[in-house]
Structure 1
Amino acid sequence: MAYAFEDSLIPPEAEIGFDIGIPDTWTQYDLSADGIAELRGQLLQAAGADADAEQMSRLNEVFSTMATIAQDSRSSGLLSAAGTLERYEDGFFMATVCVMSFREPPGHELDPIKLLDYIHPPSSTADEGTWLRKTVVELPESGADLCGRMYGVADYKLDQATGEAFRAVLMHTAFRVPGLDKRVVVSCSSPNVELQDEILQLFDAITGTAWFWKRLPQNTG
């Protein structure tokens, strides 16, 4: 999922970009309104006519959450997203990875660890079975310095009035973009909380493929 940043500080002939590897079987999503509608059709088709009521309820819940998050993310710097939906005899496995970009406020340094504090309110870990940890990770192959990371299991509030929530395994990793006053967050999530240890290992492996690249102007003199 490659992306080239647009910034007035980058010379027209140069580029600074970001890329991250996703598994070959995953799909890059179109998170426009039309893309979301098409994705819903794909999810329902994948479920099949013999899916039981519990599976369909969970699938509808997943789709509703994805649509809500996509709408929020498009206005919050979403660059790209990809994911997978696999059906097994005992249910579904679903996971997504989103890449978002944030610009530092003028005159302020946006610390990667502090940036993560804004992603989940305290209420997201208020109930039993939820937990989040924050740490610093070294990903030298990315080209960035020390990165901030938040991971665990949290509730995403779908309706503040009713308290309806969606629980997911999460891993957010925040990077400083080398050479620009921007931050990139790689946000991974899955509703399969019963597999949280294996999923966190998968998210760590995917995030470990992230890297920043730079193409400088060619010297034609």
Structure 2
Amino acid sequence: MSAGADGGGAAAALSREGSPVKDGFVPSALGTREHWDAVYERELQTFQEYGDTGEVWFGEESMNRLIKWMQKHKIPLDASVLDIGTGNGVFLVELVGTFSVHVEDFLNLSTKLSGFHICIDKGTFDAISLNPDNAVEKRKQYVKSLSSVLRVKGFFLITSCNWTKEELLNEFSEGFELFEELPTPKFSFGGRSGNSVAALVFQKS
């Protein structure tokens, strides 16, 4: 499983914390709702006091990469976009005014949610993979929820610092097909090279 991050300290923390084991990673507090509730409560206080918007997951380069992909493929301006695990909302702010966006707790989705043109994940699947309470089942629930809200032929854009391209293809093999692999920064170590993150576009079949 890949290590490192595309800029963004929080994403790097996920990668360092989760060591690969059979069927996933060593459980971590980074995979719990309580941890992220506390993180974003602190970020909210910081924003209110100092105007600091907080961490940009995987860095601005990753955020711009996704927006450029949507522009390249001429995604309609009225397309509905679900930002999965929106965190502090920095990416969401970039989308507002361009697309119709909706924020939702992905493990407790509203029953009425469906028909999204695009679903975007920048680190949420990574975090769920570290959940101490049956992460394997949580990952299956994630894929099931994704399938239920994304319309047929809709796109799922995922950026991950913990999973390789091949592993993500396996995780989303049921009901999704690889549409495109997005370019990401490369690194070299010990004579070997690889990508610091995986960024893939799936299409619901």
User: How high is the TM-score relative to the length of structure 1?
Assistant: 0.27
Max radius of gyration: which structure?
1
Q: Which has the higher strand share?
A: 1
Q: Which has the higher helix share?
A: 2
User: How high is the TM-score relative to the length of structure 2?
Assistant: 0.28
